[in-house]
Structure 1
Amino acid sequence: MANIWTIAVHELRRLFRSCSMLINLFLLPILLIFLLGSALSSVMGGGKDQTIESFRVGIVDAGNPAERSQLIGNFLKSPQVAEIITAETAESREAAVSGVRSGQYGYAVIVPAGFDKDMVTGKEAKLEYILGKNRTDNMIAGTVFDNFLGSINYKQAAAMTLGPQAISAMTESGQGNPAAVLGKLNDGAPAYTASQYYAAAMLLMFLLLCGQMVITSLYSEKDNHTLFRIGSMPVKGRELFIGKMLGIGLVSVLQCASIIVATRFLFGVYWGNRPGLLMLVCLLMIFASLTLSVIISMFVRSAALARAVLSGLTVVMTFMSGGMAPLPDAWVNTGGAFSINHWGMKGILRMMLESPWAQISGSIGMLSLICLVLGSMAFFSYRKVGYHA
């Protein structure tokens, strides 16, 4: 054990004597977080609450004046809907499309002929939507009219099954419900900002890159032919191996702590209310990085190639997890799930939102499983290949 700590202290001294290493470990991550958080704050929305602003919607009733839908008219006149949507009558579908393209309407709805009659006869209610240029307006309008259709179809099904009295009961219980509201990902905590998002992403990326120190240290002993001398001393190979990883792991812990503390006090990054779980995620990421670098070192002949492989894997996994730019959830939750960063990002962002333990435990469990697999692979690769000249 004494040999392991002696080697670990030697690694600490060697690393802290290198000015370039200190800059790359402690200054570069903080600088990147500042630049990305400032430049892309508009993309993330800054964590501020948004309000629903009223916009114009073109309404086209395909029926003749005597058969125009009273249900749609009453719905659009309701106070909850009128606060969000300003309904304007369009003469035809072509006029509605032209109005949407010119910006006159933010959205358009085509009501089929005989809409109310179809409802009375038990047919399914359907509307045609024409999307506008504003994504938020499209989402809000779609939510409003989808809720309207869902409510009508549900009441119709209830009336056919339970009788006409079911409609009046549901109408009384549903009074005052808003057509659409904006909420938060997690009540009681603000949405994460761009600085928080990229602080988590850059923290995990640089923790993975700390494995390059392991590669450099292991290959330097071989390239400088000092491994022969160490082998002649009463030092076992595994003690040298573990000592180097322990020393570099301690440096990585200091790097992690400096990034968290600096971003908290310099940029106001809120890391959540679970420091213990945050520390656990960081330790698992460090262990994953160290073991991954060991596996690469055991099977790659040169230090330059090993560093290139680790850097390439880190960049690819950071991109797949959405660490370089927010990606669609469908991609992040499929392809991104195969990256180590994905589970670390997911866990840390949930902590920033003060989510319950049930939403965080899955990420920590997957990280632990990944570390177990990488640790086993590193152990067996060391037993098979060994650390020798």
Structure 2
Amino acid sequence: MSMFTIAWKDIKIRLKDRKSFITLLLMPIILTAILGSALSGVFNENGSLPDLTAGVVANSQDELTDQFLQDTLQGKELKESIAVKKFSSEPDLKKAIEDGKVDAGLVFPDRWGEALLKGEIEPVKMLKDPGKDIQFSILSTITQSFTNRVTTVSAASRVVGNELTSAVPVSNQNLESAGTMKDLSGKLTEIADSKENGITSEKDGKEPLSGMQYYAAAMGAMFILFNTTMGAKTIIQERNTDTLARLMISPIRHSSIIGGKFLGTFSFTVLQFTVFVIATHFLFGVNWGSDVAQLVLLGIAYSISVSGLAMLLAGFMTEEKTVDSIGGIGVQVLALLGGSMIPLASFPEAMQQFAGIAPNKWALGGLLDIMNGTSWDTLTLPVTVLVLIGLASLWIGSLKLKLR
């Protein structure tokens, strides 16, 4: 029972700490209300594509190029989301992108469409604004989809034409190859002209997340991370007042002391997570998903991770001021890196990969998936990563504490 006694003592101390209460319970709720309301416009909550301004350089136009620009990019499906601006030269287009007037650009080679019909693929040069990865990806997908469709159609036409003219002599079979090819070409052209452009704005059956939902998950993940600092400071305070030393020489087992400290931080973190979810749901109407069990599992996994990191921090730090400064800065860096301040989709691809070191990134991603309605398989990776981070940190931290 010693482990639970130690944990309960730590919980009572933290509940009586007014600063801890305000920081970990009230602040995330207040910031969620502010950010969720103020930045809700950043999120496209109607399920449509984000607005995109595409710059185009096509000095030598042909029928196929005109078809792509007018019927595809400015067709009924995409006209409301994509605006096309034409430029006379590539330098002019680059300057427009640098000035923020254009999100992404296309530079077409001379007679691009005619070359495609002949099977000569000349790639379209694509220009991007480094801060508009999503818009660039959309434009790139549409262009590639159209190119692949046209090259497939032209290749099929050529192959069938060659087979018709070489397999059976026309004079013997009265085969009207010209008429057949014309009919085939017409049918294949219908396929090439289809409105399936690779990207549509139809819903996938799931409601898009609102700004309030995103920042509720983001603020929750960030402020729970502050428990690493709070938990470490509790242990350091007891070490500096020799309370921890007296516990170490008492009949209480070392594992019970370490377990009690870990369990105290873990229990407070679970409590904070529970209060935050309930408060945001009833105060702001935040929908945390339909599967409460998934939410509980992820909350427990994240609490294990945070509690383990608190033990790790306490094992390597000896002064409360050091924990405050390093812990505070570290939490803010991890919050930014993990998407709690700015959505990860706004970061370059390399930065998104590097963000995997932040535990709050895994927690935030899992929470957003749960809100959107996900399967249990999807949660396997984030839950596993969070638990492993917590257990590894607990093990290393306990070894360091044992030596003091």
- TM-score, normalised via structure 1 length: 0.78
Secondary structure (helix, strand or coil) at the match of 1:333 reads helix
Secondary structure (helix, strand or coil) at the match of 1:334 reads helix
Which of 352, 373, 377 is 2:396 aligned to? 377
- The residue that corresponds to 1:235 in the other structure is 252
- The residue that corresponds to 2:221 in the other structure is 204
Which amino acid in structure 2 is aligned with residue 93 of structure 1?
S
Matched, 1:118 2:115: yes
1: distance between equivalents of 2:256 and 2:146?
69
CA offsets, 1:120-164, max 9 Å, x none? 5432255567889x9798776655544332211122233344547
- Shift of residue 330, structure 1, vs aligned partner: 0.8
- Shift of residue 257, structure 1, vs aligned partner: 0.3
- Shift of residue 36, structure 1, vs aligned partner: 1.9
Going from structure 1 to structure 2, the CA distance change for 1:212 and 1:338 (only over 3 Å counts) comes to closer
Matched, 1:348 2:348: no
Matched, 1:40 2:39: yes
1: distance between equivalents of 2:381 and 2:22?
34
1: distance between equivalents of 2:41 and 2:288?
20
2: distance between equivalents of 1:234 and 1:38?
54
In structure 1, the gaps of 5 or more residues are 63-67
Which amino acid in structure 2 is aligned with residue 334 of structure 1?
Q
- Shift of residue 31, structure 1, vs aligned partner: 0.9
Which amino acid in structure 2 is aligned with residue 149 of structure 1?
T
- The residue that corresponds to 1:65 in the other structure is none
- The residue that corresponds to 1:93 in the other structure is 88
2: distance between equivalents of 1:21 and 1:6?
21
Contact 1:56 1:104 in 2 (8 A): no
- The residue that corresponds to 2:62 in the other structure is 69
- The residue that corresponds to 1:213 in the other structure is 230
Secondary structure (helix, strand or coil) at the match of 1:36 reads helix
1: distance between equivalents of 2:32 and 2:120?
56
Worse-matched range after superposition: 49-58 or 29-38? 49-58
Matches within 5 A, 1:1-389: 2-45=1-44, 47-50=45-48, 60=58, 62=60, 69-73=62-66, 78=71, 81-83=74-76, 84=78, 93=88, 113-115=110-112, 117-119=114-116, 121-125=118-122, 127=124, 143-163=141-161, 170-171=188-189, 176-179=194-197, 181-183=199-201, 187-227=204-244, 230=247, 234-326=251-343, 327-328=346-347, 330-383=349-402, 385-386=403-404
Aligned-residue RMSD, C-alpha: 4.1
1: distance between equivalents of 2:113 and 2:322?
71
Contact 1:81 1:178 in 2 (8 A): no
Contact 1:210 1:252 in 2 (8 A): yes
2: distance between equivalents of 1:9 and 1:105?
58
Contact 1:125 1:153 in 2 (8 A): no
- TM-score, normalised via structure 2 length: 0.75
2: distance between equivalents of 1:300 and 1:112?
61
2: distance between equivalents of 1:363 and 1:291?
16
Contact 2:304 2:390 in 1 (8 A): yes
1: distance between equivalents of 2:301 and 2:338?
17
